[in-house]
Amino acid sequence: MKVTLEGSPDTGFELTCDPPGQPIWLDGAPLRTVGGGKAVADILAMRIQPGHHVLEVRGGPFKDWRQDVEVEPGEIRKVHAILVPRRPGETAPSR
C-alpha cells in the first residue's frame, strides 16, 4: 500500500544569534514575519519546506554569516550563529 504524507506544520528551524536582533535571509531572500516585516534573530521559523536551505545573517556592524542547513520533515532544526564585528573601515560585500 502506497501512502502520500503531507509535510508537518512543525517543520522549520530555530535560529539563535550572538548578538540577537540581526536580519535573517533564507535562500537569498529576506525572511519575513507573519506580519510582513523583516525577521530578525532570535527566531523560530515554522512551516519551512523540508530540504536543503541556506541561512544568512547580513548587515549591521557584523561580518555576514552563512550556513547550509538540511530541514527534515516534522523537525525543528536548531542553528546558532556567532557574529564577528567588522573591522573599522571594512565594508560589506556587494551583492
Instruction: State the total domains in the chain.
Output: 1
Which CATH number is 34's domain given? 2.60.40
- For residue 20, being part of any structural domain is answered with yes
Residue 85 DSSP code: B
Each of the 95 residues of the chain gets a pLDDT tens digit; together they read 776 655 566 899 999 999 999 999 999 999 998 888 999 999 999 889 899 999 999 878 899 999 999 999 999 999 999 999 988 876 666 66
Best CA proximity match to 25, nearest among 41, 9, 10:
41
Domain residue limits at 32: 12-82
Q: Residue 64: its pLDDT value, please?
A: 94
